[in-house]
Homo-oligomer: A and B are copies of this chain.
Amino acid sequence: MTNSGPEDPAAREDTDMIIIMKPNASAEAISNVTKLIESRGLQAHLSRGDEVTIVGVIGNKEKLHGANIESSEGVDRILNVTESYKLVNKKFHPEDSVIPAGNTTIGPGNFTVMAGPCAIENHDMLLQSAEAVKKAGATFLRGGAYKPRTSPYSFQGLEEEGLKYMKEAREATGLNIICEVTSLRALETAVKYVDMLQIGARNMQNFELLKEVGKSGVPVLLKRGLSATIDEWLNAAEYIISEGNPNIVLCERGIRTYETSTRNTLDLSAVPVIRAKSHLPVIVDPSHATGVRAYIEPLSKAAAAVGADGIMVEVHPCPSCAMSDGPQSLTFEQFDTMMRHLKPYVELAGRA
């Protein structure tokens, strides 16, 4: 990685770190650490305390590559002061991004509603769903053609056939379409059909897939992993953007905790945290987070109020016949009602 100037993100690898020495670190050990730092062309600032000595490292941390200070004698631990993600970092791109996707944009000013069935089960159910969610006010049709399933014996999706139905639904309604991709093979096919790709929670750290999505240039919705920290999530986004694709929208979909009355715990505070750390838009998926139909409306309102850029909601013509995730899917009528109840919150949030 070269360091070619202030416009170059690589130049922003000039990360500072703090080395905390052990209480009993010898003068020699401390001296060895500072020498090592200086031998790489960096500066070392010493703070000798009553209990511990601290060494501040100033300059491009990349220069320390291979000089694993963390394992040097007398070193207790190392703190990285700055984040490892750069291109998605608000610090270097203070203005909130507006992401173009299909015939619309996602981000400031808009509140994007993506709705549809968990899985595309057949032609008719998808087309009906598209009509219904369009009428209620959604601008994106969601629908799974490739389903990542815990058990190999569960329904795995209609694949390309499903994508064709999606395309037909777009033509019939004018909705934009978004589909999850779970492999390079799926990606290759999906880019021929969709307006926006989706990376699901289980693939948030499938780095190979992230890189290829980055190369594709197609707008992408990146869901948070079930146990991903916000920093790991932003680093996953960095994989995509560093391959040249800045059209990323994040999606909070619940994290894994010990609580069992909801499937996962929706972390709505992630919205203001992302707002503080990144310029990327962030939407919320209350359907997967809770797994319970009755909680979708209150949490969608909360998503609008907390400042999210939209929601993704599961809707099904007949939830009691759904092949997956029926209990969390809204009927067409329930979705329509929810959208009407949600509208004033969206307006109040200055999003319509």
| Residues in chain A within 8 A of chain B (CB atoms) | 1, 10, 13-16, 18, 20, 23, 45-52, 54, 56-60, 62, 65-73, 79, 81-82, 84-86, 91, 148-155, 182-186, 202-203, 205-209, 211, 225-227, 229-232, 235, 238-239, 242, 255-262, 265-273, 275-277, 286, 289-290, 294-295, 298-299, 301-307, 319-323, 326-327, 329, 344-345, 348
Given A152-B242, A295-B273, the answer on whether A206 and B206 have CB atoms closer than 8 Å is: yes
Given A320-B68, A323-B65, the answer on whether A301 and B295 have CB atoms closer than 8 Å is: no
Beyond known contacts A1-B153, A49-B59: 13 more, CB 8 A cutoff? A18-B47, A45-B54, A51-B81, A66-B323, A149-B207, A152-B207, A261-B277, A262-B269, A266-B267, A269-B290, A271-B298, A272-B298, A301-B306
Q: A151–B66 contact, CB under 8 A?
A: no
8 Å CB contact of A326 from B49, B68, B84: B68
In angstroms, how far is the closest chain B Cβ from the Cβ of A169? 21
In angstroms, how far is the closest chain B Cβ from the Cβ of A261? 5
10 contacts between A and B (CB under 8 A): A16-B52, A20-B81, A183-B206, A185-B208, A186-B208, A202-B205, A227-B227, A227-B258, A265-B265, A345-B345
Chain B's closest residue to A322 (CB) is B68
A56 contact set on B, CB distance < 8 A: 47, 49, 54, 56
Question: Whole-angstrom distance between the alpha carbons of A154 and B59 in the complex?
Answer: 17
Question: Whole-angstrom distance between the alpha carbons of A43 and B322 in the complex?
Answer: 22
Closest 4 CB pairs of A and B: A227-B227, A47-B56, A45-B47, A71-B320
